[in-house]
Amino acid sequence: MVAWIIWLARQISDPARTGPKPRFDLTGAVLSALGLFFVVLGLLQSRTYGFGKSRADFTIGGTVVIPKGSISPVWLFVAIGALFLLWFFLHVRSAEHKGKPVLLPLRLFRNKISNLGLGTQVIQWLILQGSFFVVSVYLQEVWKYNAIQTGLVLTPGTIGILAASAGADRFARRHPQRWLIITGFLTTAVGMGLLLALVRQHSAIWTWIPGLFLFGAGVGVMLTSSVNVVQSSWPDTDQGDISGLSRSVSNLGSSFGTALVGSVLVAAKLPAGKPFAVALVMMLVLTLIGLVLGILIPRQPADASERAGSRAGE
């Protein structure tokens, strides 16, 4: 598939560049990457050390830096990441004042509608990756399924995503993007509720189908809509920057999803199967937070909705 894409890409003709070649903000790229790396790494460390008190000695080169029972090293890594992100912010602000090219203009964070859309994107990818991770590990650890059987059980969720995504263009032309985001979060929440209500350690295989299908359909409905809300909030000249920010936010949500869920599955000292329920409840709570963000998105004029629908078609 990759080879076929590369072959087809050879036939794409890009317009000639006008003006001087822009410089790449290497410093900004390094600082932002380090900041996000340490934040995600910190969340991953919670599997070993927990979120509150450290469950084990944290050592570096054989030296105990944080003893067992002290504050978890998770927050050390998160703090280091936050400092790098603050450094990145100060770097960008200074470079913008000097008229230099920056990795990410700060004005992209000054649009309320765009910010709310980015918030829904983070949560959408977080619950998508986190919930699929929970289900996959549950099937393999509790039901003792192999990888192929696990993939087959997840098929209803995949079908739901594909079916809803296939109708994204039609939905965007008939309904406001805000309405689609709200509907998607509600449908996803119902799907999670059905999983929690129906699935048990020795329940029938059909108990997975309605919950996973509604979960997938809900995610499929709102994924494109959130991107439309974000990108339609900016003029064509900013589409390159906001598109990159949108994709980065989605990737960050995916990383947070698996990190948080993995931490809960390892940290929760509960009977067999219960940590999975706790992790899924956490995903449900985050889904409801995403629903609130969707409700807070201001209603857009009809012409803005039409432009968003056209962008979905493109």
Could you tell me which of 106, 102, 54 has the C-alpha nearest to residue 76? 54
Q: Are residues 280 and 211 in the same domain?
A: yes
Name the domain boundary from 104, 124, 156: 104
Beta strand 63-66 with 58-60 is antiparallel
Cα separation, 67 vs 39, in Å, equals 21
The count of domains in the chain is 2
pLDDT at 270: 53
pLDDT at 271: 55
pLDDT at 312: 46
The answer to whether residue 210 is domain-embedded is yes
pLDDT at 313: 46
Q: Are residues 161 and 291 in the same domain?
A: yes
In sequence order, what are the residues at sequence separation of 6 or more whose Cβ sits closer than 8 angstroms to the Cβ of residue 117?
226, 227, 229, 230, 233, 297
What's the pLDDT tens digit per position in 207-217? 999 999 999 99
User: Which residue type, as a one-letter code, is found at position 147?
Assistant: A
- The distance of Cα 44 from the centroid of its chain, to the nearest Å, equals 16
In sequence order, what are the residues at sequence separation of 6 or more whose Cβ sits closer than 8 angstroms to the Cβ of residue 128?
219, 254, 257
- Written as six digits, the tokens of 253 are 């949500």
The answer to whether residue 11 is domain-embedded is no
SS3 category, 224: helix
pLDDT at 219: 93
pLDDT at 22: 76
Q: Are residues 91 and 153 in the same domain?
A: no
Identify the CATH number of the domain in which residue 289 sits.
Answer: 1.20.1250.20
pTM of the entire structure? 0.83
Cα separation, 304 vs 301, in Å, equals 5
Q: Are residues 90 and 201 in the same domain?
A: no
pLDDT at 146: 94
pLDDT at 260: 84
pLDDT at 223: 86
Q: Are residues 130 and 88 in the same domain?
A: no
Name the domain boundary from 48, 80, 104: 104
Q: Are residues 266 and 131 in the same domain?
A: yes
Whether 260 and 134 have beta carbons less than 8 Å apart is answered as no
The answer to whether residue 201 is domain-embedded is yes
Q: Which residue range(s) make up the domain with 113?
A: 107-313
Q: Are residues 136 and 124 in the same domain?
A: yes
The answer to whether residue 250 is domain-embedded is yes
Report residues of the chain scoring pLDDT below 70: 267-273, 300-314
Q: Are residues 100 and 112 in the same domain?
A: no
The answer to whether residue 243 is domain-embedded is yes
- From the number of C-beta atoms within 10 Å of its C-beta (0-12, 13-18, 19+), residue 90 rates as exposed
What's the pLDDT tens digit per position in 180-202? 999 999 999 999 999 999 998 88
- The distance of Cα 241 from the centroid of its chain, to the nearest Å, equals 18
The answer to whether residue 18 is domain-embedded is no
Q: Are residues 31 and 132 in the same domain?
A: no
Q: Are residues 266 and 228 in the same domain?
A: yes
Q: Are residues 59 and 163 in the same domain?
A: no
The answer to whether residue 33 is domain-embedded is yes
Name the domain boundary from 43, 77, 104: 104
Q: Are residues 299 and 159 in the same domain?
A: yes
Q: Is 170 left (phi over 0), alpha (psi -120 to 50) or beta?
A: alpha
The answer to whether residue 14 is domain-embedded is no
